[in-house]
Amino acid sequence: MRKRSIFFVIGALALIATLTAFDLVSGTHVPSNARLLHTEPSEYAPVLVFEQYGERCMNFNAIDDGGRQTCYELGDPRKMVFEYTRMMTSALFVQPDPRSILIIGLGGATLPNALHHLLPGTTIDTVELDPAVLRVAERFFGYEPDERQRIFLEDGRAFVERAEREGRQYDMVLLDAFDVDYIPPQLMTLEFLEHVKRILSDSGIVAANSFTQSRLYERESATYAAVFRQYFNLRAGLDGNRVIIAAKGALPDISDIERNARAWQSRLDPYGIDIETALNRFQLVREAREGVEPLRDSESVAR
């Protein structure tokens, strides 16, 4: 009888361990060290919110599916967890005083929230395709749209093309749109970047988040070179993100970038942005590899 009791307890504990690794409502596998807070239904992919290692994070489909989309530290919400958001924010070294910003891709609103606090007089337009992402950003990540923090629920390319037709211009355009696999193909082509260039003010810049290990790395580079001629290529290691920063006009000299970075230093410290690390990532690229074709609308982009 005692043995049967012991086996019953062991079996019960195993069942509890299994249940804690599987959310019964959403059917989502949950790693034992993560706590699932919410699953938001979406016509594209379920949006998950979970807490793990002292961070609150967002992901699509599953907690451990293809990395985390957005995270912030529960004890220090302003500090940027991901290197790519710190690299994107260093676009302020190239254009230190943007009065209007367009962001394609909301995610957990790390960039819109940070720039809204850093630039209280600046109008920030953010475009997000998925209403589920907006609901999650508002409920779990502190995103609060207002008259200067504006949100548009639509396709990013359609928004850019309409902004061009209406004559709108931006001092800074940040491209940070990802689906469950990679950047949507319509946001990678030469034709799209030409639209982006035309909505930049004379001193406007574009910063785009992508990956160093993408099969399209060289063709992405060729596309930006074809539209903007030269750009800064910021890389987080050999297998992390890379951020491309290009300008409608001439790019500033590195001395100007260093001066702008020093001016921003104290305000960026709370976000975990180390100025020296950020400056060391600015590598100027003047031309793409010979023989590499830019990406175009007319082809099917295999990612």
Print the SS3 string covering 273-297: CCHHHHHHCCEEECCCCCCCCCCCC
DSSP 44-55: SSPEEEEEETTE
Q: How many CB atoms lie within 10 A of CB 214?
A: 15
Neighbouring C-alpha atoms within 13 Å toward the C-beta of 22: 8
Q: Which residues pair with 149 in a beta bridge?
A: 124
Burial class (CB in 10 A: 0-12, 13-18, 19+), 33: exposed
* Percent helix, strand and coil across the chain, each to the nearest 5: 35, 25, 40
> Could you confirm whether 176 is annotated as catalytic?
yes
- Of the residues 176, 202, 253, 256, only one is catalytic, namely 176
Q: d(Cα 5, Cα 10) in Å, to the nearest integer?
A: 9
210 touches 174 (CB < 8 A): no
Alpha helices of 166-274 — where are they, by DSSP H? Answer: 190-198, 217-228, 254-268
Question: Residues with catalytic annotation?
Answer: 176
